[in-house]
Amino acid sequence: MKDRFGREIDYIRVSVTDRCNFRCIYCMPEGGVMPKTCADILRFEEIARFLEAIVPLGISTVRITGGEPLVRKGIADFVRMVRRIPGVKDIAMTTNGSLLAGMAADLKSAGLNRVNISLDSLRPERFGRVTRGGDLKSVLKGIDAALENGLEPVKINCVVIKGFNDDEIMDFAKLTIERNLTVRFIELMPVGESKKARMNFVPAGRISRSLGGELEPVEYPEEGKGPAVYYRLPGAKGFIGFIAPMTRHFCAECNRVRLTSDGKLKVCLDSEEEFDVKAALRGGASGEDLRRIFTGALMRKPDGHRMNAVRFGKPGRTMCQIGG
């Protein structure tokens, strides 16, 4: 399925909850957000019904997100539902990793292919501050479990924040030397709480320069490549990637849409326009009706984001409410 700019849309990010056991400083307010009620959130069966309708249009990759998806009861059963949908080739998950150690084996057997783990500091005290109370050890155990259970490629997503963790860039890069990990450095985007942090922005070019001249450009395996540009330290087993939504727009290659936990279809992370899938599902929409909503939404997908023009200030909908 192509949008009006000829981009092939084959990837959907599905948020299963707006709740999270962390309160990361650029993602959520310190007091959290007003959680949705159970009635507000799509049931797993409803999400599966929507996916069954749109996957035949060319969706092959489903990424499960939150909030923190592992806090939702029955998440492995949902993975099994998605795995049974004909045409779904790749099921991925973005998680903070804190609950992954005890769930990795079940998720793998359910059909999960790979995980991205958000991690912004390797220093316990600092990690506690960025997550407002998170335990670094639990995340490191989650990374180990992901590798042990073959949820690969295992990607570490690190949002670089000036004056906070930009002195840890080399420490993160070294994680790739002895282990098959992909560390991706991500530019801070002005979404939700991050709008308050304009002075803390670090461009990807500066991040890469801090690693010196040792990086070797590489072709990353196509599966799960995403929007990053990849490199490798000499002799390293893993990869280093840079995601630069602010300084290297990749909108012309965008292949994704998002379904929020409360049933809104978003065709661009930056756009405020949303399409009400939940109302259609609960109103008895047929598969053809759902496909019509989806294709109509795709025709509204903009050619690119406008985040560079956003004034950092009052937060809007947070990342946990959107699904990243």
Tell whether 114 is in a known binding site.
Answer: no
Q: What is the pLDDT of residue 319?
A: 54
Whether residue 279 lies inside any domain: the answer is yes
- Give me 324's structure tokens: 């990243």
pLDDT at residue 6 above 90? yes
Q: How far apart are CA 320 and CA 192, in angstroms?
A: 9
pLDDT at residue 192 above 60? no
Q: What is the pLDDT of residue 16?
A: 97
Q: Is the dihedral of CA 170, 206, 249, 323 positive or negative?
A: positive
Q: Looking at residues 187-215, what average pLDDT do you find?
A: 79
Among candidate residues 255, 194, 266, the one with its CA nearest the CA of residue 14 = 266
Q: Looking at residues 99-112, what average pLDDT do you find?
A: 98
**Position 24 confidence tier, pLDDT thresholds 50, 70, 90:** confident
**Position 30 confidence tier, pLDDT thresholds 50, 70, 90:** confident
% of the chain surpassing 70 pLDDT: 90
Tell whether 254 is in a known binding site.
Answer: yes
Tell whether 251 is in a known binding site.
Answer: yes
Q: What is the pLDDT of residue 311?
A: 45
Q: What is the pLDDT of residue 268?
A: 92
Q: What is the pLDDT of residue 275?
A: 97
Tell whether 38 is in a known binding site.
Answer: no
Tell whether 231 is in a known binding site.
Answer: no
pLDDT at residue 241 above 80? yes
228: CATH: 3.20.20.70
Tell whether 208 is in a known binding site.
Answer: no
Average pLDDT in the chain: 90
Whether residue 6 lies inside any domain: the answer is no
Q: Looking at residues 81-92, what average pLDDT do you find?
A: 98
pLDDT at residue 68 above 70? yes
**Position 34 confidence tier, pLDDT thresholds 50, 70, 90:** confident
- Give me 168's structure tokens: 């840890």
Domain count for the chain, please give it.
1
Q: How far apart are CA 318 and CA 307, in angstroms?
A: 14
Q: What is the pLDDT of residue 298?
A: 96
280-322 pLDDT tens trace: 999 999 999 999 999 999 999 998 766 655 444 444 555 555 6
Q: How far apart are CA 42 and CA 164, in angstroms?
A: 36
β-bridge pairing 181-186 and 216-217? unpaired
Among candidate residues 66, 83, 84, 73, the one with its CA nearest the CA of residue 28 = 66
Whether residue 77 lies inside any domain: the answer is yes
Residue with tokens 């783990």: 117
- Give me 47's structure tokens: 């999400």
Tell whether 256 is in a known binding site.
Answer: yes
Residue with tokens 């501050």: 129
More confident residue, 157 or 253: 157
Residue 218: exposure state from Cβ atoms within 10 A (0-12, 13-18, ≥19)? middle
Domain, as residue range, for 81: 11-322
Q: How far apart are CA 248 and CA 246, in angstroms?
A: 6
Q: Looking at residues 20-41, what average pLDDT do you find?
A: 83
Q: Is 299 within 8 Å of 284 (Cβ atoms)?
A: no
Q: What is the pLDDT of residue 221?
A: 81
Tell whether 320 is in a known binding site.
Answer: no
Whether residue 80 lies inside any domain: the answer is yes
Tell whether 155 is in a known binding site.
Answer: yes
Q: How far apart are the first and last CA of the chain?
A: 22
β-bridge pairing 61-65 and 11-15? parallel
Q: How far apart are CA 309 and CA 190, in angstroms?
A: 10
Tell whether 230 is in a known binding site.
Answer: no
Q: How far apart are CA 171 and CA 210, in angstroms?
A: 11
Residue 154: exposure state from Cβ atoms within 10 A (0-12, 13-18, ≥19)? buried
Whether residue 4 lies inside any domain: the answer is no
pLDDT at residue 84 above 80? yes
pLDDT at residue 124 above 60? yes
Tell whether 209 is in a known binding site.
Answer: no
Whether residue 104 lies inside any domain: the answer is yes
Whether residue 2 lies inside any domain: the answer is no
Q: How far apart are CA 81 and CA 49, in angstroms?
A: 10
